[in-house]
C-alpha cells in the first residue's frame, strides 16, 4: 500500500501529514458499519481534530484512495479487500477447527466403550453447534437474566415505536443525525430497532463517539450479523442484550 501510485502521489503532494490523515481514515472505516463513513470534510475535521478541511478534502477526493456509494458515503477498496481476505482465512480456520473437533468428538468414548453422549439442553434436544455463527446463537425470544441488564430490559419492555421508512427519510432530509450518529440511526432503521433502543445506544456510547467501546461493539455486532447472516427475531432484545447484558 505504501508504495502504490496513489499513496506516492499523496505523499508527494501532502507529505506525511496527509498520509497520517489517510491512515486515520482507514482506522475509522475499519470500525464503521459496512466499512463506510461520511465523506464530509467537516465531519472528518472534527474526528481528526484538524482545522485543515481543505487538506482533508484533497485526501478524500484527489488521489483515488476512496470510492463513494450512491448515498455519498466513502469507502476504501483497498481496506475492503484486506478485510475480505482476512474473513476468508478466518472462515477456513474455523471450518478446519470445527471438523477437527467433530472428528475428536466422534472418536471419544467412555470407559465402558460407549460413545460419549451428545450434550443436550434442558428439553432433551441435542444442542446444535454452529461455529460459523460463533457465539451469536441464542434463544432471543426471551430476556436473558444478566446482572447488569435491568436498564436495557426496561427499554425493551417499553419500546413500541420502530423507526419507520417515513421516520428515516424525514431524519435524513433534515440532517437530524450526522457522522457516526447517522450510521447508528441507519443501522437501527435497517434492522428494525426501535427509537427507544436507538436513543439508549446513543446515550450509552457518548453520542456514538468513534473511540467509545459501546459504539465499536455495536459496529462489530452489525458486521457479524451481516457476515454470518444470523436471523435476528427480536432486534431490540438481541442488540441490547449483546451490548449491555
> What DSSP state is assigned to residue 177?
S
Q: What is the DSSP track for 33-99? A: GGG-B---HHHHHHHTT-S-HHHHHHHHHSSS--EE-TTS-EE-HHHHHHHHHHHHHHHHHHHHHHH
> What DSSP state is assigned to residue 121?
-
Please report the pLDDT score of residue 2 as a whole number: 62
State the average pLDDT over residues 197-213.
91
> What DSSP state is assigned to residue 127?
P
Q: What residue segments make up the domains of the chain, in order of their start?
A: 5-78, 146-244
Using alpha carbons only, what angle is made at residue 63 by residues 7 and 184, rounded to the nearest 5 degrees? 100
Alpha-helical segments (H) within 191-231? 195-203, 213-228
Please report the pLDDT score of residue 205 as a whole number: 92
Does the pLDDT at position 106 exceed 70?
no
State the average pLDDT over residues 204-226.
89
Q: What is the mean pLDDT of the chain?
A: 78
| C-alpha cell of residue 242 | 449483546
Does the pLDDT at position 122 exceed 70?
no
With a threshold of 0.85, does the pTM exceed it? Answer: no
State the average pLDDT over residues 166-194.
88
Amino acid at each position: 500500500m505504501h508504495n502504490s501510485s496513489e499513496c506516492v502521489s499523496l505523499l508527494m503532494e501532502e507529505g506525511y501529514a496527509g498520509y497520517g490523515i489517510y491512515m486515520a481514515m482507514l482506522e475509522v472505516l475499519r470500525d464503521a458499519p459496512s466499512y463506510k463513513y461520511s465523506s464530509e470534510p467537516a465531519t472528518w475535521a472534527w474526528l481528526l481534530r484538524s482545522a485543515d478541511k481543505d487538506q482533508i478534502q484533497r485526501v478524500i477526493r484527489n488521489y483515488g484512495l476512496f470510492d463513494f456509494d450512491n448515498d455519498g458515503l466513502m469507502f476504501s477498496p483497498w481496506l475492503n479487500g484486506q478485510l475480505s481476505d482476512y474473513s476468508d482465512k478466518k472462515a477456513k480456520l474455523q471450518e478446519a477447527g470445527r471438523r477437527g473437533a467433530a472428528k475428536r468428538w466422534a472418536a471419544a468414548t467412555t470407559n465402558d466403550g460407549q460413545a460419549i453422549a451428545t450434550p443436550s439442553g434442558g428439553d432433551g434436544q441435542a444442542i446444535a453447534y454452529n461455529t460459523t455463527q460463533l457465539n451469536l446463537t441464542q434463544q432471543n425470544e426471551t430476556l436473558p437474566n444478566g446482572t447488569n441488564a435491568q436498564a436495557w430490559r426496561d427499554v425493551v419492555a417499553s419500546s413500541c415505536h420502530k423507526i419507520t421508512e417515513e421516520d428515516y427519510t424525514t431524519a435524513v432530509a433534515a440532517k437530524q443525525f450526522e457522522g457516526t450518529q447517522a450510521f447508528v440511526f441507519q443501522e437501527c432503521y435497517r434492522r428494525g430497532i426501535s427509537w427507544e433502543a436507538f436513543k439508549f445506544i446513543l446515550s450509552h456510547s457518548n453520542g456514538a463517539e468513534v473511540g467509545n467501546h459501546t459504539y465499536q461493539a455495536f459496529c462489530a455486532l452489525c458486521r457479524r450479523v451481516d457476515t454470518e447472516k444470523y436471523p435476528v427475531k427480536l432486534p431490540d432484545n438481541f442488540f441490547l442484550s449483546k451490548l449491555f447484558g
